[in-house]
Amino acid sequence: MKLLLHAIFLLLTGLILSSMAWAESPFSHIWSGFSTSLANRSTEQRRNAVIAGQALDTAILPPGGVFSFNELVGARDRDKGFVPAPHLNSSGTLDETPGGGICQLASTIYNAGLLAGLEIVERHPHSRAVAHVPPGRDATISSWRKDLKMRNPFPHPLMLRITSDDNRLTASFRSVAAKEFQVEVRSRQIPLEPETVAGRSAGTGQPGARGFSTQTRRIIRKNGVETSELVSEDVYPAPSRIIAGGGE
C-alpha cells in the first residue's frame, strides 16, 4: 500500500512540475494559429490526425531549421496506432490507406506556417479541391514521396503546438520573441467547368463537378512596408461529366 501511495505521489508531482514548466515556457508569444473543422470526418480519419498531431506537438524549429512532416511523424504503421481511412489519391478518388486523414493536419499546419512567415520548402496540393481549406491552401502527404517542409528564417526559435477536440483541429506557432510583422494570405480562384464525355457502357453516368485554378499570394507588412510573395499556382481539375452510354 505504501509503495502504491508513493507511486501515485511521484506521478502527481511529475504532472504538477510538467504543468509549471509549460506555464513558464519561454515560447509565450503566439505568432500564428489556424483551425479546420473535423465535421464529416470519419472516426478513423480523426484518430489518425490525432496520432500524427501527438508526434508533432511541441516540435521546435531552431533558427534556420526545417520542419518536415514525414520525418517527425514517420511511417504510418499499425504499430503506432494508425488505421486505414479514406485518402484522396493522385487520381482524385478515395481509397483506404493507413493514416488516411493526416492530410488535414498537414493543411492546418501549412496555413499556420504561412501566417507565421515560414519559408515554404516543399508542399504539394491535392489532386482535387478539399472541403476543410480553400483551394490553394491545402497540403497533401504521401508516404516519403510527398512531404510538407517549412524553414524558420528568423533569428528566434519557433514551437509548433497541435490541439484538437471533437469539432476542430488547430495548429499554432509560438516564439520566444514578439512577432514584428503582419501576414495576410490571399487566393484568387478561377473556376474550371467539367468536360462532358460519353460513357462506354450503360449506367447512370457521372454529374461532374467544378474544378479550380488558383494563385495564392502572401502579403507581409512590417514598419509600414508591404511586400507580396507568390506562394503557389495550383490546378484542381474538374471531374468529368460522364453521359451514360449504351455500351460497345
How does pLDDT run across 169-216, given as a tens digit for each residue?
A: 999 999 999 999 999 999 999 988 776 655 555 555 556 677 889 999
pLDDT attached to residue 129: 85
Decide if 217 contacts 186 (C-beta within 8 A). yes
Q: Where are the domains of the chain?
A: 24-243
Put the strands of the sheet holding 60-61 in their side by side order: 29-37, 168-175, 158-164, 60-61
> 0.85 exceeded by the pTM?
no
Work out the average pLDDT over 82-86: 90
What spatial distance separates the first Cα and last Cα of the chain, rounded to whole Å? Answer: 80
| CA neighbor of 97 nearest in space, from 82, 85, 80 | 85
* CB-count burial class (<10 Å; 0-12, 13-18, 19+) for 144: exposed
Cα–Cα distance, 173 to 226 (Å, whole number): 22
- Please identify which residue in the block is written with the cell numbers 493514416: 99
Torsions phi, psi for 3 (to 5 deg): -65, -40
All residues at 6 or more sequence positions from 168 whose CB lies less than 8 Å from its CB, including other chains: 35, 36, 37, 38
Percent of the chain with pLDDT over 90: 62
